[in-house]
Chain A
């Protein structure tokens, strides 16, 4: 055992490039299917769990997948809009708790989720430090956001300007971090939570500026008609909500018409759930209600169907690789016939020679397996973000 293994090691060390090529063949053949399987399983478990924990989602008619992914992962392509009025109506129906979600903006790339305190309760999110958003302009950051942005309670963060050419919209809003969430291992770690009204301010539906009632500068006031004052562009809206200017913030229009990206509906019971679904399925054309778990299951089913095709492909590649490796071994045996004859003449057992070849292949497979294990672990550890961004954020 010792001699053949030693000889195999020597052979492998001397023919290191040939060895590397063989290892690479085995590694690549095994790595892709194993890693994809691992990542998909991880992703599947997490997204299904997330879907299952979100009973119903109401949103604008359109892609149910976009609506679901945007509501549970925030990052996905923004669905259409649903007015805040629907929240009130669901609440008044007493069929479900309605949690509004406005997820259209970002802060340093992290999604800003405009919602109510009900959301934190619904997700059972706990604070690592600080407290919830209480005032306009306050925000609570997820654990990952706090870590990556290096922010803590008392710090301030800016919302991202959605479009550099959007001169009519509000500039970045400076928000005060009032709390940091404990990590939960869900997309909530990656989000910035604000009060719904703060999200609307970021959307430009509300703003604060200097008092124009007593303003005499004609450059700032274009006209005064009864109760309406028309301000010019010279009046700069506040980019930060402070104790001094908080009262000046106001919204134009009826908040019932203000947009949401979705409403999470937590039905009181099964019957309520059925009634609520029936209400949106039958009665209202402009909105839809979806069960996220069903949407996610459909998505995963499609992904796994595609994966089966790749699995079949991977099996063919593996068979080809094994055949090629067999050919390489056979050619190698032919090339090494003299070496084997010499060893035999000297007094080497045939079993020793076989064992030597066996160890050489074992070393190739062992090294390739170790590489596969290490890289799969690394990809499994860091790859979840990638796969979420691939399947969710890229939508």
Chain B
């Protein structure tokens, strides 16, 4: 695995940190890329307008089926990059392509449809909807966007998925009656139900005890392996890094340049 990084510090005095890298990493050999980033610049200003942040990526590619982990200190741009990959945020310049779509070239609505069909999100705090049961949470993407149609086979598929995650007897329970491990499994089911090509996970094991941490990670990786889906994980947990094809460490660039 080799990374090559550059750094640049913004001239603007309000920008307090800047990360810049050009990474090809240990991309899966001979696999076509699912994600491609070129000449990306993203600037973020804190609400107090006194400090800010600039993320610069010359080149980054993630192959289909690749499992990539972003590590590094808080504020180094890991979660920002997830937002850029999901089309939640747009770069100030440069190109972000996921699959066939260049995200900065499609409309807001198009990016929402892209997220619902191409992206699966897993969050640190699970972010389940408390007034929906486990099964209803899993099927949530089908309820909130007209581009997906909830049919009986989809429902059966959700039940099967939940069962395969050990949630057979928890389908009709609300999140407040589930353990944290169970809640994260429900969240993973929700991320997988529409069979997205790219799974973005922000600290998926951050709130779990060690036993659940390993279990959740194993379930997630097995499931992705099965369908050849791509995974990008933001984590602070160095104990799980061996499970990934590639690790991109943001800490080397924090504060203006590589260590």
Taken residue by residue from 137 to 177, chain B's Cβ proximity to chain A (1 for < 8 Å, 0 otherwise) reads as: 00011111110000000000000000000000000001000
Tally A-B pairs: CB < 8 A. 63
Q: Give the most central of B113, B119, B143: most A CB within 10 Å.
A: B143
At the interface, yes or no: B222 with Cβ under 8 Å from chain A?
A: no
At the interface, yes or no: A123 with Cβ under 8 Å from chain B?
A: no
Cβ–Cβ < 8 Å partners of A352 in chain B: 144-145
Q: Which of A10, A11, A13, A347 is B112 in contact with, Cβ under 8 Å?
A: A347
With A3-B146, A10-B131, A14-B131 as known contacts, state yes or no: A346 contacts B141, CB within 8 Å.
Answer: yes
**B115 pairs with A345, CB closer than 8 A:** yes
In the docked arrangement, what's the CA distance between A91 and B116, Å? 93
Cβ–Cβ < 8 Å partners of B125 in chain A: 338
Closest chain B residue, CB of each to CB of A347: B116
Cβ–Cβ < 8 Å partners of B209 in chain A: none
Cβ–Cβ < 8 Å partners of B114 in chain A: 347
Cβ–Cβ < 8 Å partners of A347 in chain B: 112-117, 119, 141, 144-145
**A349 pairs with B109, CB closer than 8 A:** yes
In the docked arrangement, what's the CA distance between A347 and B136, Å? 16
At the interface, yes or no: A92 with Cβ under 8 Å from chain B?
A: no
In the docked arrangement, what's the CA distance between A345 and B119, Å? 10
Q: Looking at chain A, what size class is its interface with the partner chain? A: 10 to 19
At the interface, yes or no: B86 with Cβ under 8 Å from chain A?
A: yes
**A345 pairs with B144, CB closer than 8 A:** no
Separation in Å of the B174 CB from the closest CB of chain A? 7
Separation in Å of the A311 CB from the closest CB of chain B? 39
At the interface, yes or no: A7 with Cβ under 8 Å from chain B?
A: yes
**A348 pairs with B112, CB closer than 8 A:** yes
At the interface, yes or no: A216 with Cβ under 8 Å from chain B?
A: no
**B136 pairs with A10, CB closer than 8 A:** yes
Chain A residues within 8 Å of B, Cβ to Cβ: 3, 6-7, 10-11, 13-15, 338-339, 342-349, 352
29 residue pairs bridging A and B, Cβ less than 8 Å apart = A3-B144, A3-B145, A7-B143, A7-B144, A10-B131, A10-B132, A11-B131, A13-B131, A14-B130, A15-B131, A338-B125, A339-B127, A339-B129, A342-B123, A342-B129, A343-B129, A343-B144, A345-B86, A345-B115, A345-B121, A346-B116, A346-B121, A346-B144, A347-B113, A347-B114, A347-B115, A347-B145, A348-B112, A349-B144
Chain B residues within 8 Å of A, Cβ to Cβ: 86, 88, 109, 112-117, 119, 121, 123, 125, 127, 129-132, 136, 140-146, 174, 190
**What 9 pairs between A and B have smallest CB-CB spacing?**
A347-B116, A14-B131, A347-B115, A348-B144, A342-B127, A3-B143, A347-B112, A11-B131, A347-B145
